[in-house]
Structures are given as C-alpha cells and as structure tokens.
Structure 1
Amino acid sequence: MTWCVYLTHPEVKIDPDVPVPEWGLSDIGRERAGKATFLPFAKEIKQVISSAEVKAVETAQVFSGRMNVFHRVLQFLHENDRSATGFLPPEEFEETADAFFANPAASIRGWERAIDAQDRIVNGVRSALRHIPDDQPVLFTGHGAVGTLLMCHLMATPISRHFDQKRGGCWYRFEKDWLSTQEGRHLGWTEL
C-alpha cells in the first residue's frame, strides 16, 4: 500500500447570492493552489480526485494541469451539507461550525450531521481508491470540515474541531491502509 494526500481548497470568491458549492477560487486562492505543485510529494502523484464543488475542482485543475496527471470528479466527496442555512456571515458560521463538531450526532440548524458526513467521506475515499493500484499515490482535493472528519477517522479519534485546519489551503498525508486500520497518529494540517 502507498499513501494519499488530502488538500483543501484555498481562498474562495465569497458571494452570498451564489450557492456555496458554486463558489470558485479567488485570485489568491488560485495562486496558493499552485504552491501544491512545488511540494515534495507533487511529482509522485499519479491521480487527482476532487469533489464536484467548483472550488475543489478548480484546486484539482491547477494541480493536474501543471503536473499533467489525470483528474477525476466524485460527487460524494463534497463538504458537509450546509444548504439548510446557505451563506452565513463569518462569526455566525464559526459558531455553527463549532456546534457541528461539538455535537456530531445532531443536525445543527439543519446541517448534515458530522457523523454522517464522516461516514460519507471515509466510504467515499475508500470507494475512490478501490480501482486504483495500491502503489499509486493519490491527491484528494476537497474541503476543511470533511477533511477534518476523515483525519479523525484515520487516527481513531473522536470528532473534534481541535483537529480542524486554521485556514483553507492546507494538506496532510496518510497511508491508504489507515482507512481500515485507523493507525494514523499525530496527523496535522500543513499550510501551502
């Protein structure tokens, strides 16, 4: 077995009138996404897999375009479903996100429950890897909340915002077999 990298999209163009899944990268976000192509693992990546949200697709396209690797889009790797509230001002969003992580079995303000989002992202990553040779490193481009939920699973740690990234455009590396063994230890986000 070999390894994967989970990379979150960097800064986006926030538009309260556009559904959040349709937000794209800002100029700064696009510039930061390009930094991934200079990371030590970049030349080893054989495939990029992203969620279907525009910001994740654009992050993947920056990497796959510059590194000339195949990019696949999988709908079920999306961020936690927050469509019940749509856009929230930053302070209100942070309070709601705190509650989302603190109460993983509850739907906070109609958001997808953290335990359900975790199950979806873990099974989604497993499914995505099913037909990829074990020796091929894969880059996943996605989102902060589900990336954190995946990290908690890999470490067999209860869901906690303590493990959340400090800003978008962060990554961590994990072994593919940790999806089953949950032997990941001391994982943490690294900024681009």
Structure 2
Amino acid sequence: MTAGIVRYLTHPQVQIDPDVPVPQWGLSPVGRARTETLVQAPWLANTTQIISSGERKAVETAGIIAGPLGIMIEIRAAMHENDRSATGFLKPAEFEQVADRFFAEPHLSVRGWERAVDAQARIVREVEAVLARDRHGDVLFVGHGAVGTLLLCHYAGHPINRVHDQPAGGGHCFALARQDRSILHAWCRMEEIAS
C-alpha cells in the first residue's frame, strides 16, 4: 500500500434556502471565502486526488481547491450526505433533534431518513474503493458532516455517536494514514490543519 495521507474535508457554510432541495444548496459567501483561504495551504502540496460528493456545496468546495492545484475533481455520487429526503428541509431546532436521534439510534430509520449504519457502510465503501487504486500522493475527500462523522467513527473504532461529530459551521477535516488507516488527527478547522 502506497504511503500518504487521506483527508476528509467537510464543505463549509452554505446558502440555506428552504425552497431548494438541500443537495442543491451552494456555498454561502462565508463558506466560499473560507475555502479560498486554503488555496496556498502547505498541507495540500502533496495532494494528487480530490474526490467529491456530487452535492453542489461539496463540488463547489472541491473546485475552489482543485483549480490552483491543477487537479481534476472526481465526483462519486454515492458519497452524498445521509439521505434526509423523507423530511426535506427542517428548521434548525427540529433538525438538531432528528440528527441527535439519527446518531443515537443508528439501526433505525428516524422519520424516514437513511439509517446511520447504512450511510456509514456506503461512505466507507466509497472511500475504500478509491484507496484500493493505490495511486501515489495524498487524497482529499470533500463531503459532508454526518457521513464524515460516520467515517471517522469507523476508522477510529468508535461506536456511532454524535459526540464525534464535527463542530458547527462545517469546513472541518480529519486525517488518517493511508497505509494502516490510523487516525492522524480528529476534526479540526480547515484553516488550522497542520499536517
């Protein structure tokens, strides 16, 4: 297995519009500005692959990073956020309650949402399919908070639990060693990534 670092980055702040399906939301001006600060980040120097969810906010984040690096984005549709289409947009307080249950009861479909165990299996499958190609360089996955947390739980050997969720606001990253999948660091703000 080729050496290198695997990073999972969540998109930062989005433009919330209750009249637009959530997967079609784009970055807000704050989210875009935060991502643009990464362009010269030293930790990106060895990145040779950028793999993105197909949701607009993730693709926009990946595109801002990929352009200056001269890397084409690979979109993997199955890297999408947990499927919440059964409820559609929920106001923040209600969303947080349902999200708490999603993590607390991973084997149940909470209000029709995709089960956490299924979302976890899906995101792990996508990441492992990319890493199985064994290409040189670091890999950057760009995606979402809930499935990112499920991925972190998997590689860290933690049971599914929201205590491992990224802090509010998005734009956080965790990293693992490619060779043995050991966690190098848990969630940190993308502006504070050191390795």
Query: Is this a same-fold pair by TM over 0.5?
Result: yes
Match of 1:130 among 129, 132, 135: 132
Which whole-Å CA distance do the structure 1 matches of 2:145 and 2:110 have between them? 17
Which whole-Å CA distance do the structure 2 matches of 1:159 and 1:39 have between them? 31
Which whole-Å CA distance do the structure 2 matches of 1:119 and 1:149 have between them? 9
Matched with 1:189 is 187
Q: Which amino acid aligns with 1:191?
A: R
Which whole-Å CA distance do the structure 2 matches of 1:10 and 1:127 have between them? 25
Matched with 2:58 is 56
Q: Deviations over 1:71-117 (max 9, x none)?
A: 11000000000000010000000010000000000000100000000
Asked whether 1:34 is paired with 2:33, we answer no
Q: Deviation at 1:37? A: 2.6
Alignment of 1:65-84 (within 5 A): 65-84=67-86
Matched with 2:99 is 97
After TM superposition, the runs of 4+ consecutive aligned structure 1 residues lying more than 3 A away are none
Q: Deviation at 1:47? A: 1.3
Matched with 2:158 is 157
Q: Which amino acid aligns with 1:31?
A: A
Which whole-Å CA distance do the structure 2 matches of 1:69 and 1:15 have between them? 31
Which whole-Å CA distance do the structure 2 matches of 1:169 and 1:75 have between them? 20
Identical residues among aligned pairs (%):
49
Q: Which amino acid aligns with 2:186?
A: G
Q: Deviation at 1:178? A: 4.3
Match of 1:24 among 18, 23, 26: 26
Which whole-Å CA distance do the structure 2 matches of 1:40 and 1:97 have between them? 34
Which whole-Å CA distance do the structure 2 matches of 1:44 and 1:99 have between them? 38
SS of the aligned residue for 1:66 comes to helix
Which whole-Å CA distance do the structure 2 matches of 1:178 and 1:32 have between them? 31
SS of the aligned residue for 2:63 comes to helix
Q: Deviations over 1:142-169 (max 9, x none)?
A: 0000000000000111001001011211
CA contact (8 A) 1:46 1:70 kept: no
Q: Which amino acid aligns with 1:190?
A: C
Matched with 1:12 is 14
Q: Which amino acid aligns with 2:183?
A: G
In the alignment of these two chains, the number of paired residues is: 187
Q: Deviation at 1:129? A: 2.2
Which whole-Å CA distance do the structure 2 matches of 1:176 and 1:76 have between them? 21
Matched with 1:141 is 142
Which whole-Å CA distance do the structure 2 matches of 1:22 and 1:148 have between them? 21
Gaps of 5+ in 1: none
After TM superposition, the score normalised by the length of structure 2 is: 0.91
Matched with 2:193 is none
Q: Indicate how the Cα distance of structure 1 residues 114 and 95 shifts in structure 2: closer, same or farther if over 3 A, else same.
A: same
Q: Which amino acid aligns with 1:188?
A: A
Gaps of 5+ in 2: 191-195
Q: Deviation at 1:36? A: 2.7
The RMSD of aligned alpha carbons is 1.4
